[in-house]
Structure 1
Amino acid sequence: MTLHPAAPDPASSQPSNAGSHTASVPMLAIRNIQVVYGGAIEAVRDVSLEVPSGRIVALLGSNGAGKSTVLKAVSAVLDAEDGKIEKGSILLQGRPIEQASAHGIVGLGLVQVPEGRRLFATLTVEENLVVGAHLQDRRNLAEARDYVFGLFPRLVDKRHQIAGYLSGGEQQMVAIGRALMSRPRLLALDEPSLGLAPLVVSEIFEAIQTLRDRSGLTILLVEQNASRALAIADYAYIMENGRVVLDGTPEALGRNADVREFYLGLSTQQGRTSMRDVKHYKRRKRWLS
């Protein structure tokens, strides 16, 4: 059974080439946003990016680069941490949402899976899924639940187990499944591989790719694991110190010497150490810390 997200406007439902940034309206467009915490700490400065319909766009960077802050701004959950969008705009299918409430944004079809999963630990797997379908009628709830169990078959036998007793990977599957229960147009994932074993990470990323390839779901993927993210993304942005410092297709970024060395762990040269090597070492220490 196929999960059908809330129907987008016909003109914007056709996937565009993520790398070309065509004139068609993207599913999500962030324009020069600045985010400040506590009225004093600038966490994000002049960040712009686009997420075309039906594509996976990766937002990469080390811990503290500002990636999660961008997601929180998009999902309208900055208030909980005394954060505020000081300037710029966020458009969902051309509609400004930077002043919308978190509940209103979910209603428009943008749903976030937060870092750390944040399940209702005392509820069962199925109860957690049902919580995510609070905007759906009974028929759509059943269809979405069947889709989630098809995407993550291992959850079928655990549907009546308490979520807090699941493994980290299984909890991540439930968190993604709960978000899918609302039939989103755009799924925002914050560090889905964090703390998971490599085999489980592979399973999670295969599911993310399936959501795009089979259901046409639009996905904004925030990740520190650059190699995994670039393997499935259509386009990527790299953040450092609250700013986007590089963007391009995975192929183009994979040919970039700095990206290969500092994000993919591929040494670009062997031999004697130069001052350039020392600077690169310091950058690596900062980017990978």
Structure 2
Amino acid sequence: MLTITNLQVYYDRAVEALRDASLEVRPGQIVALLGSNGAGKSTVLKSVCGVLYPEDGEILGGTITHDGISLTGFAPHEIVRRGIAQVPEGRRLFDKLTVEENLLMGGYSRPAGEVSAGLDQVFALFPAVKQHRTRVSGYLSGGQQQMVAIGRALMARPRLLLLDEPSLGLAPQIIAEIFEAIRRLRDEQGVTVLLVEQNAQLALSVANYGYIMERGRVVLDGEPAKLLSNEDVKEFYLGMGAGSGQRRSMREVKHYKRRKRWLS
């Protein structure tokens, strides 16, 4: 489905964002891409979608292939037509348009006869937003906006959905609803998902496989059970002391970077 090999990305040809980052997303899976702020997770998604240019980002090495075809040189709209859609961090709805108008924008690449069916599918997945279909999206709650943002991406009928921090700033109940919808997309519709999250435990609870990034490169990967049982992951990403089951204080973990074995 998606293979990224030794990807190198710079901003302004000076700031290294990704250094030899490699990962694989197999069909029908949810793959979690984890890491702290600045690790390069969002840059991976922008690279796949061809939208580095607004921030003067540039791929200077490595390859990105989708179904065996290199995405190098494809424009963003061409990547969407290939079956890849992204939900960016922060939702980024057209806040002066209604819910339905936002969704229709997401379906611009689909034949007119399929748009109505697409709306029905989105409203079936997110019943909470159906009643607000004529409401201006800027007046929705954060959770409702996130549902609309995911629905807008789904209107393109992607086979690969890229989600950037879908839990950010949301209440626990809303997060649970959104992650249940992500599970359903995989299990019921066969949508493949690359999920960027800082909440490692939440992401691994739905994922088939996970990668952890630090300083622009992948430093650890494995199935969720393997990652959740790893003492370094427990301490540095789940906030748990090694084997203690107790949260670590900030004073205890503030020097974590020099203690991480994988960064030596």
TM-score range, shorter chain: over 0.9
Shift of 1:185: 1.1
Q: Counterpart of 2:17?
A: 43
User: Paired residue for 1:137, among 111, 117, 137?
Assistant: 111
Matches within 5 A, 1:83-122: 83-122=57-96
Listed one character per residue, the Cα deviations across residues 134-190 of structure 1 (whole Å, up to 9, x for unaligned) are 111232111111010000001111111100000000000000000000101100001
Q: 1:65 to 1:286 in 2, by over 3 A?
A: farther
Measure, in 2, the Cα distance between the counterparts of 1:262 and 1:28: 28
Give the counterpart letter for 2:95 in structure 1: A
User: Paired residue for 1:251, among 225, 232, 235?
Assistant: 225
Shift of 1:99: 2.0
Shift of 1:132: 0.6
Residues 115, 192 of structure 1: 8 Å contact kept: yes
Q: Counterpart of 1:213?
A: 187
Q: Counterpart of 1:239?
A: 213
User: Paired residue for 2:161, among 187, 190, 202?
Assistant: 187
Please give the secondary structure, in 2, of the residue aligned with 1:260.
helix
Measure, in 1, the Cα distance between the counterparts of 2:213 and 2:169: 21
Please give the secondary structure, in 2, of the residue aligned with 1:164.
helix
Give the counterpart letter for 1:52 in structure 2: R
Give the counterpart letter for 2:255 in structure 1: K
Give the counterpart letter for 1:46 in structure 2: D
Please give the secondary structure, in 1, of the residue aligned with 2:205.
helix
Residues 85, 162 of structure 2: 8 Å contact kept: yes
Q: Counterpart of 1:146?
A: 120
Q: 1:44 to 1:286 in 2, by over 3 A?
A: farther
Listed one character per residue, the Cα deviations across residues 104-141 of structure 1 (whole Å, up to 9, x for unaligned) are 10111111000011101011101100111111123211
Q: Is 1:282 aligned with 2:255?
A: yes
Measure, in 1, the Cα distance between the counterparts of 2:240 and 2:5: 33
Shift of 1:29: 0.4
Shift of 1:265: 2.4
Q: 1:184 to 1:286 in 2, by over 3 A?
A: farther
Q: Counterpart of 2:247?
A: none
Q: Counterpart of 2:43?
A: 69
* Identical-residue share of aligned pairs (%): 58
RMSD: 1.8
Please give the secondary structure, in 2, of the residue aligned with 1:192.
coil
Shift of 1:268: 1.7
Please give the secondary structure, in 2, of the residue aligned with 1:232.
coil
Which runs of 4 or more aligned residues in structure 1 lie more than 4 Å from their structure 2 counterparts after TM superposition?
278-281, 284-287
Q: Counterpart of 1:33?
A: 7
Shift of 1:279: 7.9
Measure, in 2, the Cα distance between the counterparts of 1:255 and 1:286: 18
Listed one character per residue, the Cα deviations across residues 3-59 of structure 1 (whole Å, up to 9, x for unaligned) are xxxxxxxxxxxxxxxxxxxxxxxx100010000000111010000000000100010
Matches within 5 A, 1:218-233: 218-233=192-207
Please give the secondary structure, in 1, of the residue aligned with 2:94.
coil
Listed one character per residue, the Cα deviations across residues 204-252 of structure 1 (whole Å, up to 9, x for unaligned) are 1110111000001000000001111000000000001111110000000
| TM-score (ref. length: structure 2) | 0.93
Shift of 1:195: 0.7
Measure, in 2, the Cα distance between the counterparts of 1:254 and 1:269: 12
| TM-score (ref. length: structure 1) | 0.85
Measure, in 2, the Cα distance between the counterparts of 1:257 and 1:281: 17
Equivalent residues, number? 255
Measure, in 1, the Cα distance between the counterparts of 2:173 and 2:201: 15
Instruction: Extract unaligned runs of 5+ from structure 1.
Output: 1-26, 271-277
Measure, in 1, the Cα distance between the counterparts of 2:241 and 2:252: 14
The answer to which of 193-202 and 231-240 deviates more is: 193-202
Shift of 1:286: 11
Please give the secondary structure, in 1, of the residue aligned with 2:232.
helix
Residues 231, 243 of structure 2: 8 Å contact kept: no
Residues 262, 284 of structure 1: 8 Å contact kept: no
